[in-house]
Amino acid sequence: MKIEVGKFYRTRDGRKVRIYAVDGEIHGAILSCGKWGEDGSFSPLFEHSADLISEWIDKPEGNWPAMPAWANWQAMDKDGEWWWYADEKPEIRRDRGEWYGPHSDRIPFAYAPKWKGNWRASLIERPKR
């Protein structure tokens, strides 16, 4: 992974990091002391919770006014199609490699979130009313 100044990255433990310098070592905004190596690792000896593991991608924003009142969840499948789910929080089924939840339907493209992240990280819940 190439680490670039001004981009956001995710640490192994899920924190958001802003990179502000790359000059032989990587400097980011979450630590009061410490540095990353050129490959984004915090420690050259072992996996560390502050290792940079991917670029940060904000969660998608759902178009909730366009959804049925009973649609409480939205998620993208591995093919890039968006679905809404009612009743229960959907889960990824290992045997099918996709989100599964009862009472669901496909969201038309015009109303689907515009988002380019990994489908496994796409699940969003309707904000509390």
Same domain, 51 and 72: no
Can you tell me the mean pLDDT for 56-69? 89
Q: Show the domain range for 83.
A: 64-125
- Cβ(68)–Cβ(99) below 8 Å: no
Same domain, 22 and 41: yes
Same domain, 51 and 68: no
Query: Is the pLDDT at 34 greater than 70, yes or no?
Result: no
Same domain, 113 and 76: yes
Count of domains in the chain?
A: 2
Same domain, 82 and 32: no
Same domain, 42 and 84: no
Among the listed residues 129, 94, 126, 93, the one whose alpha carbon sits nearest the alpha carbon of residue 107: 126
Look at residue 1 and tell me if it is in a domain: no
Look at residue 41 and tell me if it is in a domain: yes
Look at residue 91 and tell me if it is in a domain: yes
Q: Which helix (H) or strand (E) holds 45?
A: none
Query: Is the pLDDT at 10 greater than 70, yes or no?
Result: yes
Look at residue 34 and tell me if it is in a domain: yes
Per-residue confidence at 104, pLDDT binned at 50, 70, 90?
confident
Query: Is the pLDDT at 51 greater than 80, yes or no?
Result: yes
Same domain, 48 and 69: no
Same domain, 87 and 109: yes
Same domain, 34 and 77: no
- Distance separating alpha carbons of residues 79 and 103, to the nearest angstrom: 20
- Distance separating alpha carbons of residues 30 and 7, to the nearest angstrom: 13
